[in-house]
Structure 1
């Protein structure tokens, strides 16, 4: 308040000399209000101080949590690289096994056809020794077809 409004307030509260007897109770009331406001200010300062400490603790806890998270991320990346290397090795081994399977399958097929050719030649020899030339001609055709596989 400025001076003129303070004077107006006092003149309203104490318009005459008889009303000045109420100054003492008013002073008590004002002092009680001052104590109440001081206690509120003190509590607010304490709370603010505690809040600052709590904020520092929370910040430290958050920093530790971030560091722990970064450590775990590095571990996960390391394990991912190891897993990728392992998968590449397994794929390389699978390719080797796949090539080996193809070669074995080709070899088995060739051996089967060779067996068929040898059997056809043996039958041709038997037919030739028995002079069964008509049957031998048909068997010779089968032998020629089997032989084409080995000539290519």
Structure 2
């Protein structure tokens, strides 16, 4: 309020000298109101202070959680890299085994054909010794 408004308010409250006897109860009422407002302000300040402390604690907890999450992500990434290395080694070993299988299969096929050739040569020798030239010619064509 400006000065003239405050003066008008006081003049309205106490228009005569006789009404000044009500000043004391009004002062008590105003002081009571001041104490109530002071208590409300103090409570608000305390609550704000507690809220600030709580916010700091929450921020610290969130920071710790983020750091823990980053650590776990790093661990997972490390394990994934190790797994990838292991899979590459296994694939390399599988390729070696696949080549070995291919070579063994080729060798077995060659040995089987060699066995058949040796058997056919033996039969040709038997046929030649018995002078079975017609059968030997057919066997020679197969061989």
Fold equivalence (TM over 0.5): yes
Structure 1, residues 3-54: CA drift from partner, whole Å, max 9, x if none?
Answer: 1111222233333344333333322222221111100111111112222222
Whole-Å Cα distance in 2 between the matches of residues 99 and 92 of structure 1? 11
Are 1:17 and 2:17 an aligned pair?
Answer: yes
Whole-Å Cα distance in 2 between the matches of residues 33 and 123 of structure 1? 130
Whole-Å Cα distance in 2 between the matches of residues 135 and 13 of structure 1? 148
Query: What's the secondary structure of 2:15's corresponding residue?
Result: coil
Which position in structure 1 is the counterpart of 2:27? 27
Whole-Å Cα distance in 2 between the matches of residues 2 and 113 of structure 1? 121
Whole-Å Cα distance in 2 between the matches of residues 34 and 141 of structure 1? 127
Structure 1, residues 82-125: CA drift from partner, whole Å, max 9, x if none?
Answer: 11211111111111101100000000111111111112112222
Which position in structure 1 is the counterpart of 2:87? 87
Which position in structure 1 is the counterpart of 2:137? 137
Contiguous gaps of at least 5 residues in structure 1 = 143-152
* Aligned-residue offset at 1:138: 1.6
Higher relative contact order, chain-length normalized (CA < 8 Å, sep 6+): 1
Cα RMSD (Å) = 1.7
Query: What's the secondary structure of 1:15's corresponding residue?
Result: coil
Moved runs in structure 1, 4+ residues, more than 4 A? none
Say which is worse superposed, 1-10 or 88-97, in terms of deviation.
1-10
Whole-Å Cα distance in 2 between the matches of residues 116 and 83 of structure 1? 49
Query: What's the secondary structure of 2:131's corresponding residue?
Result: coil
Scaled by the length of structure 2, the TM-score of the pair is: 0.87
* Aligned-residue offset at 1:75: 1.6
Contiguous gaps of at least 5 residues in structure 2 = none
